[in-house]
Structure 1
Amino acid sequence: MNLNKSKSPPFVHKNARIAHKLVYFLIVGSQIGVGVLGFVRYIAKYVRQDSWIIVILGGLSIHIILWMMFKILNKHGGDLFNIHHQFFGKWLSLPLSSLFIFYYLVTGIVILRTYIEAVQNWMFPGIPIWTLSFFFVALTYYIVGKGFRVVTGIAYFCFVLTIWMTFTHYFPIRYGHFINLLPVLDFGLKDYFQAFKVMVLSFLGIEYLFAYYPYLENPKKAQKWAHIGAATTTGIYMLTTLSTLMYFSPKQLQGLTWPTLQEWKIVTLPILERFEYVGIAFFAIVVLINLAIALWTSSRGINRIFDIKQRIAIIPLSILLFATPVFFTTRFKVDELNNIIGKFGFYLLYAYIPLLFIISLLKKGEKT
C-alpha cells in the first residue's frame, strides 16, 4: 500500500487516452440512466405542471458545476485524488478520496437495483435478483477489465443504439394536452427547491470526470464537448418531462411508478404490439454503460490511493456490485437507497465542488 501515490498526477500513456470529442458520450452515458423512466413523477409531486422549469434550472446549474470542475482540473491537473492531496494533505485526503470511491460504486448499485426492479415489475415478476445482477456484473467486469478505451467505446455504441428511443415521445405528445402545462409559476420557492433537490439525482454522472480527466487527449478542448453532452441530457429530460406532463394528469402521474413505461404502452407499430418490452430490453445497454463507468472510476480510485492494480481492484468491487442489490428486496428499500444517493449527490455538486473551486482560486496551480 502506498498512500503517497495520489500525491503526484497520474501518468497515462498516449495510447490509453481518448479523443477529446468522445467525452460527449461519456457525459451523456453517465447521466442518462434508468431514472429517466420515472423521475418526472418525483418532481411533479412538488411542482406538478411546472416540472419542466425545474429541468431547465437543473440543466443550467449542471453547466456551472461542469465549468467549475474543468477550471479546477485544468489548473491543478491530474485527477480528484491528486487534487485532494494538494488541497488537504496526505491524511485528510485519504478519507475524502475513499468516500468518493464508495460513492462511485454505490451509484452503480443504485442503477442496477432500480433496473432490476423495473424488469421484475414489467417483464419477469418471478426472476431472482441475483440472476440479473450476475448477468450485468459479469458483462461489466469484462468491459472494465479491457480498459478505459473500451468503456468509452461502449458509451459511444450505447448512444448510437438508444438515441432513437427519444422519438417515442411523439406518441404521448400527440395524444396529450398542452393545457396540462398551465398555469405557469404556480408554486412557492420552497416547492421549487424541493423539486430541484429531487431532480439532481437524474443529473448525477458528471462527477466521474474527476476520475477520467487524465485520459482525455486534449482536456481543454474536451470542455466544449462535455457541455454539449450535458445540454443533450437536459434536452432528453426536457422532452421526457413535457411528454409525461401532457399525457398524464397530476393525479394519474402520482399513481405511477414508471411513467415512461406507461407511455410506451401507447406506442403502436405495424410489427410490434408491446413496445414497452422492447424499451426495457434496450435500456439494458444504458444500464451497462452506467455500471461500467461506475466500476471503472471506483477501481481507478483504489489504484490511485492504495497502489493496488486496477485489474485486481475490479474483483472485490464486482463482488460487492453483484451481491449488494440482493439485500434491497422491497420498493421502499429501493426508494430509500435512491433518496440517500440523491441527497449525497446534491451536496456533492452544489456544496463540495464549489468548495473545491474556491480553494482552487486561492492556491497556485501545479504543473502536471
Structure 2
Amino acid sequence: MKTTRPVSTLQFTLMVSAFQISVAFLSLPRELARQAGTDGWIAIFFGWGMATLASVVLVKVMKNSPNGSILELIQRFMGVWASKIAAVIFIAYYLPLAYDGFMIASLVMKLWLLPSTYIYVLVLLLLIPTYQIAQHGFQAIGRYCEIVTLISIWIPFVYLSTLRHAHWLYLLPVLKEGWLPVLSTVKIMFFPMVGIGLVFFIYPHLVNKEKALKAMVISNTLTCLVYLGITLVCFVYFSPDEIGEFNDPVISIMKSIELQFIERVEVPFIAFYLFVFSCVWIPSMHLVSMNSAWLLGRGGERGSLVVWCFAIAVSFFIYKPSFIDAARVNNFLNLTGFVMEFALPLCLLLYVAIAKKVRGGRRS
C-alpha cells in the first residue's frame, strides 16, 4: 500500500479518541448508573485498562504489516478468500456503527431541535458532508477531527459551571454495595471504547509508526478522562434515584445553565456536538467503502461510498427508528465491539505468531 496521504500522530490520536467519545458520550452516565449506581464511574478505569491492553495487541499485530492494512495481512497469512471474508466481516461491523451514529444523531436532533422534521431528511443532510469528507481518506478525516477538537474545547467548561448545583454526598459511600456491581458493569465499557480497531486500517498511513502505541494510550486516556468527567458531573447533579430515568442526562443537565444571551443552552450544545458525533460515522463510512472496494478489486472507493450513502438514506426513509431501536443496536454493538476490537486482535496475534514459527521451521 502506497502511503500517498500520510496521517500524523496527532491526527491519529484525535481520530481514535473522537471516535470513542462520539459513540457513548450521551448514554454512558445513564447506563453506568443503572448497573452500579453512583459507583459506576469506577468501571471507567477498567475500561481504560482493557482498551490499553487491546491497543498493545493491535499494534503488535500491525507491526507484521507496516505497509498494508489488516486485509493485506490476512491475505498474506491466510489467502485471498480469507481476506475477502474479512472484508465482509468489517463491512458488517462498521456499517451498523455508522447507522447507529446517524440514528442517534437524527433522533436527538428531532427531539431537541427540529421536532417537525422527518428523520430521513435529517439523515440526508448529514450524509452530504459525510461523503465530502469520507471520500478523501484518513488524512482528511484526521484534519476534520483536529478542527472538531478545537471548536469543542469550550464544552467541558460549560459542564464545570454546573458544579455549583453539585451534591457531592451522592457519591458516598464509595463501593456501597461492594465490588460485584462495579465488576458486572465493566462489560458496558466495551462499546464506549470501540475505535481502537481503527489502527487496523490507519497504521500503514502513519508517518511515525513507532509512536502508534503511545498515540493509542494517549487517546484512550483522553477518552476515559472525558467519560470520567461527564459521569461524575451527572452523578453529583442528579440524585441516584433519578439519573436512570433521563434518556439523555448529558443534555438534560444543560437546563440548569442560565446565560443572558442564550435562552436554551442545550440548543447550541447539540449543534456543536453533532460535529463530535460525526467522528464515528465519517470514518465508519470510509471503512465500509474501503472494504467494499477490496471485495470488488482495487479502486472504486468513491463509487462504493455513494452506494452505501444512498442505501442508508433509503433505509431511514423506509423505516423510522426510535430510541428503543437505538438501545438495541447499542447492545448489539457492545457485543460485536468486544469481538472485533478486543478478542479478534488477540486471535490474529496468536495465529500470526504460530504461522511465522511454522514457516520458519519449514525453512530450516
Same fold (TM over 0.5): yes
Over 3 Å counting, the alpha-carbon distance change for 1:125 and 1:194 in structure 2 is: farther
1:60 aligns with 2:46: no
**Deviation at residue 328 of structure 1 after TM alignment:** 4.2
**How do residues 281-292 of structure 1 correspond to structure 2 at under 5 angstroms?**
281-292=271-282
**Hey, what's the Cα distance between the residues in 2 that align with 1:328 and 1:61?**
35
CA distance in 1, matches of 2:300, 2:321: 34
* 1:279 counterpart = 2:279: no
Secondary structure of the residue that 1:364 maps to in structure 2?
Answer: helix
Of 95, 116, 122, 2:85 maps to 95
Superposed CA deviations along residues 1-60 of structure 1, whole A, max 9, x for unmatched, are xxxxxxxxx2223xx112233211111221111531221111111101111111111012
| TM superposition shift of 1:242 | 0.6
Pairs within 5 Å for 1:235-254:
235-254=225-244
Q: Which residue of 2 aligns with 1:31?
A: 20
User: Which residue of 81, 96, 99 maps to 1:109?
Assistant: 99
Structure 2 Cα separation of the partners of residues 74 and 59 of structure 1: 23
Amino acid at match of 2:277: V
Which deviations, in whole Å up to 9, do the C-alpha atoms of 1:292-339 show, x marking residues without a partner?
Answer: 111111111222343141111111111123233442422222211121
Q: Return the alpha-carbon distance in structure 2 between the equivalents of residues 188 and 323 of structure 1.
A: 48
Q: What are structure 2's unaligned runs of at least 5 residues?
A: 360-364
Whole-angstrom distance in 1 between the partners of 2:100 and 2:185: 20
2:191 alignment partner, SS class: helix
Across the two proteins, how many residue pairs are aligned to each other? 355
One-letter amino acid of the structure 1 residue matched with residue 304 of structure 2: A
Aligned partner of 2:62 among 73, 98, 112: 73
Displacement of 1:90: 2.8
Q: Which amino acid is 2:48 matched to? A: G
Choose which of 205, 217, 221 in structure 2 pairs with 1:227. Answer: 217
In structure 2, C-alpha distance between the alignment counterparts of 1:85 and 1:64, rounded to whole Å: 25
Q: Name the aligned partner's letter for residue 294 of structure 1.
A: S
1:360 alignment counterpart: 352
Identical amino acids, percent of aligned pairs:
23
Task: Give distance in 1, aligned partners of 2:23 and 2:122.
Answer: 15
Compared with structure 1, are the counterparts of its residues 328 and 208 closer, same or farther at alpha carbon in structure 2 (3 Å cutoff)? farther
TM-score (norm 2): 0.91
Partner residue in 2 for 1:22:
11
Superposed counterparts of 1:1-368, under 5 Å = 10-13=1-4, 16-33=5-22, 35-77=24-66, 78-187=68-177, 191-307=181-297, 308-326=299-317, 327-364=319-356
Q: State the shift of 1:245 in Å.
A: 0.7
Q: Is the 8 A contact 1:172 1:244 kept in 2?
A: no
RMSD: 2.0
Cα distance between partner residues in 1 of 2:73 and 2:39: 39
Distance 1:343 1:165 in 2: 30
Distance (whole Å) between structure 2 residues aligned to residue 150 and residue 343 of structure 1: 30
What amino acid is aligned across from residue 195 of structure 1 in structure 2?
T
Q: Is the 8 A contact 1:328 1:334 kept in 2?
A: no
Equivalent position amino acid for 1:330 in 2: S
